[in-house]
Each structure stands twice: as structure tokens, then as C-alpha cells.
Amino acid sequence: MALEVNGKSIETDENGNLTDPHSWDEDVARALAAKEGIELTQEHWDVINYLRSEYFDNNGEQPMERVINKGMSKIWGKKVTSKDLYALFPLAPSKQGNKVAGLPFVLRKGGY
């Protein structure tokens, strides 16, 4: 499958995740989010940037939801719950968030 963004064809897998995380940019994120029915806010971008940073800075590691909660709590300076993150990414921050962040599909379950 492919996603058309700004005249470029971006390859996705059968789950809709990018096959090459390096082909991601903010326009691709907006297109992926639109397909998911999500209008990106600054909080979405904070989570997306956190997920990408964790992936690229930690040898492809993709954090579970509990770790995302803790990471976002540090960034936002307040206690973040799963409910907060599911309000942003209703189909799971560790799956739908990774998709919009241009990262590979995660096979594992959520994350506690």
C-alpha cells in the first residue's frame, strides 16, 4: 500500500505503518493522522516527537504505554494517565501513536 503526500508515494505495510521510518516528515504525519481521524494538536506532536526520539535514540525500541505515560509526565510536568493518552490516540498510543509517528507496527499488547 502507499500513501500519497505532496506528490510523493510513501510505502506503508498492511497495518498502515510506514515501511521506512526515514520517509516520515510532518506532512506525512498529518496525512497518517487524517486517515486515523485525528486532528493533530501540540499534545499530539509532543507524543509523536517523544516516540520518534525513543525509537531513533534507543536502537529501535518502542516504549510500552506505561513508559509513554512516564515520559510524557516529565515533558508536560504533570501526572499523565493512560486516559490522557487515549484521548489523543483512541486506538492505543503505543500503536496508533507509533503509526502517526511513522514507526513500525508493534505486535505486542498495550503495556503494563
Q: Please report, in tens digits, the pLDDT of each residue of the chain (112 residues total).
A: 789 999 999 999 999 999 999 999 999 999 999 999 999 999 999 999 999 999 999 999 899 999 999 999 999 999 999 999 999 999 999 999 999 999 999 876 644 4
State the pLDDT at residue 2.
Answer: 86
Report the alpha-carbon distance of residue 2 to residue 17 in Å, rounded. Answer: 10
Report the alpha-carbon distance of residue 12 to residue 19 in Å, rounded. Answer: 5
Angle (CA) 1 37 74, round 5°: 105
Cβ-Cβ contacts under 8 Å for 107 (sequence gap 6 or more): none
User: pTM for the full model?
Assistant: 0.92
